[in-house]
Homo-oligomer: A and B are copies of this chain.
Amino acid sequence: MLCVDVFTFQAIDGPVIGKVVASGNNKFVKGDLVLGVFTWAEYCFVKETTIMRKLEPSEFPLSYHLGVLGKLFINYMAHVGFFELCKPKRGEKVFVSAACGSIGSLVGQYAKLFGCYVVGCVGSQNKVAFLKDKLVFDDAFNYKEETDQSSTLRRYFPEGIDIYFDNVGGKMLEAVIDNMNTFGRVAVCGATSEYIDIRKRASLDLVNVIYKRIIIQGFLTPDLMIHHFQNFMIKTSNYLRTGELQVTEDISLGIESVPSAFVGLFNGNNIGKKIVRLVEEEE
């Protein structure tokens, strides 16, 4: 295999780009590049029922098919989550948590390109600088330096938040509800602050949810995939060609780096899409 997308719903399977070394299926021949959900390994046996497709050569680096152009699982979420669920209007105020992550960094950029005001929150000063200087977010802050997230958000959004793309859940979601405008929309894409400790779950102020008529919606990409994928691919490919969309990848090398890469996701170690490159091979 060539690359491993280090985000997975089971500890041992995940989106992978591999090269066929032998095939009993006449749709695939030795040397074909394939994108599928395989076991994290240097070699693996793939059953016929596995979700997988042949990867045709493209103008973009191979790893983009796990990230910014990825159809499998999470990356396409940025686009559908933002445009289909959040239904943005130009000029609206958008807040993105885990804004340096693979999804957050794309959501923020799509929102900027669309004409929204965008602020991201991240866990280090380094990442704040990255969002403001490299990804041209309107503003960004390090939540670890703040004691009261609700008053912090009030500072960054004096006119309130219209859209929240939530990757973390927990206290930050509570603070967002405090600062949300009427008819605010929350797309719940992840809840990293709650994955390990359920005591950190968001305690929602439902009275605010009612009076502000807020919509909170969880989603997974596959539901929204078929209808919008073509539009997503055309738009995103064009943005990549013109350089309007910045791709951020955090690539580590070798099968031995998979566990630390996976654990690092939950500690916020990565900037951009976390990928493990298993083999140094010419693309």
Chain A residues near B (Cβ < 8 Å):
166, 169, 173, 188-191, 194-195, 198, 201-220, 223
Whether A205 lies near B216 (C-beta < 8 A) is: no
Whether A210 lies near B190 (C-beta < 8 A) is: yes
Q: With the chains together, A198 CA to B219 CA distance in Å?
A: 28
Whether B206 lies near A213 (C-beta < 8 A) is: no
Q: With the chains together, A97 CA to B97 CA distance in Å?
A: 33
Whether A188 lies near B210 (C-beta < 8 A) is: yes
Q: How many copies of this kind of chain does the complex include?
A: 2
Point out the residues of chain B lying under 8 angstroms from A209, CB to CB.
188, 216, 218
Whether B201 lies near A206 (C-beta < 8 A) is: yes
Whether B223 lies near A218 (C-beta < 8 A) is: no
Closest chain B CB from A73 CB (angstroms): 12
Q: With the chains together, A166 CA to B206 CA distance in Å?
A: 10
Q: With the chains together, A25 CA to B219 CA distance in Å?
A: 54
Point out the residues of chain B lying under 8 angstroms from A166, CB to CB.
206
Point out the residues of chain B lying under 8 angstroms from A194, CB to CB.
205-207
Whether B217 lies near A215 (C-beta < 8 A) is: yes
Whether B219 lies near A213 (C-beta < 8 A) is: yes
Q: Which residue of B lies closest to A169 (CB)?
A: B206
Point out the residues of chain B lying under 8 angstroms from A208, CB to CB.
218
Q: With the chains together, A215 CA to B208 CA distance in Å?
A: 16
